[in-house]
Structure formats: structure tokens, C-alpha cells
Amino acid sequence: MDGYGKKKELRHDRHTVSLPSDHMVFAPKYRGKILVGDVAMIAEGIICKTCREMDIEIIEIAVNPDHVHIFFRYPPKYSLSYIAKKIKRISSKRLRDEFPQLKEWCGDHLWAPSCFHGSVGNGWEVVSKYIETQDLHHAKNDMYMPRS
């Protein structure tokens, strides 16, 4: 995505100057390959909307059949665990409401309870390129539908 995140501009808030960024990865329960087609498209939209509402800037996002990568800048008022819980809680509820068949598969919780966080210092370009090339990396999976 374009925007001030690619330029690594500092974030100026009332009492802080910062540049907090993170690469987060989380997966559906049982690492199920359920994030395909409309489910993947709607999931990406829900995640992006949730982030916008929290003033989180998504630099790059990739929704793969069995996991999601998000590279983002966030306000220092939020902890990474809070961000992960909120994104997963909201997207789980909305996806299960939109696609009732997911409830049969996963019950009350769509996402696995854990996730990966990697703080990103000066390696922005490396992380961004890695997430951008997820389509190529997962192309060998016959269930995978590349993002458009």
C-alpha cells in the first residue's frame, strides 16, 4: 500500500513521537485452509476496516488459505496483544455470521489462540516484499486463489 508508512515517517501524537510497526501472522483453528474465495476477500475487508477504526495503518496484507500476514504501523497506546485480540475477535464473529458453514467447522472461535509478532526495525522493505510475494509462495497449493 502507498502512504506515509512506506516512507517511514515518524508518528507524532500529543505526547509521543514514534514509529511502532509489526509483522503479525495468525491462522484459523487447526490451520484449516478456509480462507479462500469470498471468505478470504471478506476477511481482508474486515481486517482492514478494523485497523482503520483503530488508527492502524496497514502497509501490506496477505490473506492465504491457512494464515494471514499483516504488516502495519500502530499507535503506541495499543499493545500488540490487544491489537491481535481485537482483529481476531471482530473478524471471527463477522466471518462466522456471514458464512454459517464456518460455525459448523470451528464452533465459537475461528482463529487459533496464538499468533506471531515480529517487530520491524529497519527491515521494512524485506518484510513488505516477503508479504507481497506470498501469492507466488503459495501458488503450488491447488486450492489457493491469488489476490487480485
How far is it, in rounded angstroms, from Cα 50 to Cα 110? 16
- Would you state the torsion angle of the CA atoms of residues 123, 3, 89, 75, taken in this order, to the nearest 10 degrees? 80
Q: What is the mean pLDDT of residues 128-148?
A: 66
Cα(37)–Cα(80) distance, integer angstroms: 28
Least confident of 1-10, 17-26, 97-106, 108-117: 1-10
Per-residue pLDDT tens digits for 11-39: 787 888 877 899 999 999 999 999 999 99
Average pLDDT of the chain is 86
Domains and CATH numbers, the chain: 11-138 (3.30.70.1290)
Instruction: Give the pTM.
Output: 0.78
CA angle 55, 59, 65 (to 5 degrees): 105
